[in-house]
Structure formats: C-alpha cells, structure tokens
Amino acid sequence: MARENFGSRTTAIMAMAGSAIGLGNIWRFPYMVGQNGGAAFILVYIVSAILLCIPIFLSESIIGKRTQLSTFGAMEKLAPGSGWKWMGFLTVFTPLIILSYYSVVGGWSIEYFIKSLGFAFSDPAVSRTEHSAIFGGFITSTWKPLLWHTVFMLLNALLVVFGVQKGIEKFTKVTTPVLFVLMVVIMIYSLSLPGARAGVDYLLKPDFSKLTGSAMLSAMGQAFFSLSLGVGCILTYASYLKKDENVLSTGLFTAGFDLFFALIAGFAIMPAVFAAGIEPGAGPGLIFETLPYIFSSMGQSAPVVSGIVAIVFFITILFAALTSSISMLETGVAYLVDERKMGRVKATVILFAGCWLLGVLCSLSFGPLRDVQLPGGTIFDFCDKLTSNFLMTFGSLLFVLFVGWKMKKADVRDEFTNGGSLKANSRLFGFFYFLVRWVAPIAIIVIFASNLFL
C-alpha cells in the first residue's frame, strides 16, 4: 500500500502546527508565565524556542522526511542493526502514555464546554471558592470524568482511523486557523476589560529580579514541551511530507505559529486575571477554576457577553486538545501500520483500548485511586512527570545526537537543502548543524539533569 502524504505544504504546516498547539499553549503557558515572573520568563522562552526547539524540530523532520517511515522503522533504516531502533520504540511508547492522561484533561474540556453552553459561568453570585469546589467535585467523582475521557478518546480514534488526508488533514486545516481566530477574539475581549493594562504590563515589562535559575529552566522546558518535541509526533508527521518539501520553512512556520499562539494565549488570559484582581501565579487550576470565576464576575455587568466568551474559550480548549492528541495516537498507529503491517482500523482500535485503560487509572487517581502513590505522586502525576520531565527530554536529546553525530553530515545536508537546490538553506546549514551538534545537546542535558536532581 502506497504511503499517504499531506496534500500540500499549507496543510502539512496546519497539521504540524495543530500537533504543537494544544493544552501546553493555552493551559500550561499562561500559568507558567504567572508563576515565573512574566515578561522575563517570556524572553527566555522565545530565545529557547529559536536556539533549542527549532533544531530539535528540524532533526525530527529530517529523519521522518528522509525515511518516509514511523519512528521505529526510521531509525532502523538509517542505522540498521544498531541499538538506535529502540530509540524509535521509545518515541512510540511515550506519546501513548501522554495521550492517556492528556485525554483525561481533554475530557474535562468537554465537560466545561457543555457547562458553558448552559451559561453556567455567567452567575456573579458564584464565588471563586465555589468554582474551585465545583471543579474538585467533578474530577474526584468516578463516572462523569470517565465518560468524557471515553468520548475524547473516541473522537481521536474517529479522526485517525480515516487516515492522513481524509482524517487528520481535513480536521486540522479547518480547526487550526479557527483556533487562532477564536483566541484572538478572546484576547480582544480580555484587553478591553477595566484594569487589563496591568496584565499587559506584566507580559511586556521584564523584571529580571524575578528570573531565577529555576524560572529559566522552566522557560526552556516549556519551549520544547509546547512543540511536542522528543516524542516522535513531529517525525511521524514529517514522514508524510512530500520529498520536495522544504523542512526548514515548514519548521520555521510551525514553530512561529506555535510561539505566536502561546503569546496570544498569554494576552488572552493574563489581562483578564489582573482585571479580576487575581494572583497571576494561580497555578494549574487557572483554566478550570480561576477563569470560570472571572467569567462569572464579568457576568454582573454583561452576563450574555461573558457567557458567549466562556463558550468561545472552552471550544478553543477542546479544539486545541484534539489537534495535539491525534498526533500522539497517529504516532503509534503509524508504527503498527508500517512495521507490523496492520490495518489502520485494527491498529487504531488496539491503541485506543490501551490508552483508554491507562487513562481510566489516571482519571480515577483523583478519586477512588487517590491513595495509590507512585514516584512523583498519583498515577496521573507519575505519568505526567515521567513523560514531561524525563521521556520527552531524553527523546529530544537522542534525536539531536542521532542527527548531529550518527547520521552522515552529507545526508543531513542533502535533506536540509533538498540536494543543494535550496540556496538559502545551504547558507544556513552550518549554523543549524552547529546548534544540533553542540548547543541543543548541552541545553537538553542541563534541563534533564535539573529535572533529575533538583
């Protein structure tokens, strides 16, 4: 069976950008900014995205595009008979773990989207404490979170089972632009609120006294977490690129879209947080606890407007979660289709079942299984910390080491420049290769060591 390709460069960029843009941008980025000093954190984040993330992204893209295979097969083809193929297996395994707990949070977004449709966040009489209690009561219950976890996983399976062009491409080429439009609408509304200027200043005026070593490491970690690096998703999507595709321009556009979207999310959320007089370092509960309270407080003067904004916000969360999660499922499906010669439907069903089951345990870890403690905390916490702090970092390190030190330099140059036909890429190759061989590995090792020992 002929391997599918993305239909065009635009749809490839939309798919890759959709893979990168997810809960990491809307949920994680704003509260990380709030906890780490605002604008100074953002500056480190931007520099890290340019000098660290783009080389990793391009390394994955070069491997995927050159081999036209999933992660396991790609490493075996480029380094036959070596142990590098097990790196490919690691990057099949990691995104499936991420998907398992990610789908739990995706299920929460479905619940809150449905609540927003009923204007549940337009009552100014509901206090912030009550919103926190509502969220806590929901996630610690048994059946409702499991229902939405199941629905979210089914949506992923439905999109992936239709294949690259009929499923993933059709979905992402529509939803990725819509995500930008919806987030811009929320940003404009947020910036119009009385007191929003303090939030803008917080994001634009650096206070380097708040930029600790820990904050800098967090900014670096957030930069490549945001782009879904080190887990094989980018490699898998790059394997669907046409052979004449320009990996540099695709990578720059994707990273640019991801960075731009994260900044929009910051300007959509932080001004509203300051307008409501809430501490910016509210933490991971910012979306599901703090923002519903902000919408409610806005409802005192304009309940219909605040209700509509809440609907727009939570549908954005849901779309962003889906565009990322389908790339995680596709990474595993591509492995089973390429290496095990399995049909796409059968591969999707098998991985759906495995991810769903682990996701059940993650969901129940907030309620009936809360007393089951693993290294790092609950089952959910363990999966999150294992993948975010170690497996993603380790995978990123292996990718840049493979491209920078294992692959033949001539082969890397050939893929980067399309056989020398891309003159601009040829001029930039030396800088890229230096970043891949030296800067990216050292930076990743520092992040990995800090996660391990600090």
Domain containing residue 86: CATH number: 1.10.4160
Residue 295 lies in a domain: yes
Residue 3 lies in a domain: no
Nearest Cα to 326, choosing from 12, 19, 3?
19
Residue 198: Cβ-neighbour burial (10 angstroms; 0-12, 13-18, 19+): middle
Largest distance between two CA atoms of the chain: 68
List the domain range (segments joined by +) for residue 380: 9-453
| pLDDT of res. 283 | 66
Residue 281 has pLDDT above 80, yes or no: no
Residue-wise pLDDT tens digits, 186-207 = 999 899 988 999 999 999 999 9
| pLDDT of res. 155 | 98
| pLDDT of res. 9 | 86
| pLDDT of res. 58 | 97
Residue 284 has pLDDT above 70, yes or no: no
Please give the residue that has the higher pLDDT: either 237 or 388: 237
| pLDDT of res. 217 | 85
Residue 414: Cβ-neighbour burial (10 angstroms; 0-12, 13-18, 19+): middle
- Sign of the C-alpha dihedral computed for residues 209, 212, 217 and 219 taken in this order: negative
328, 99 contact by CB (below 8 A): yes
Residue 364 lies in a domain: yes
Residue 209 lies in a domain: yes
Domain count, the chain: 1
Q: pLDDT confidence of 313, banded at 50, 70, 90?
A: very high
- Work out the percent of the chain whose per-residue pLDDT is above 90: 70
Residue 4 lies in a domain: no
Residue 22 lies in a domain: yes
- What is the spatial distance between Cα 402 and Cα 406, in angstroms, rounded to a whole number? 5
Residue 53 has pLDDT above 80, yes or no: yes
- Using CA atoms, how far residue 8 sits from 4, 15, 223, in Å, is 12, 11, 27
168, 155 contact by CB (below 8 A): no
Residue-wise pLDDT tens digits, 75-118 = 999 999 888 988 888 889 999 999 999 999 999 999 999 999 99
Q: Which residues contact 261 (CB under 8 A, 6 or more apart)?
A: 17, 21, 25, 179, 180, 183
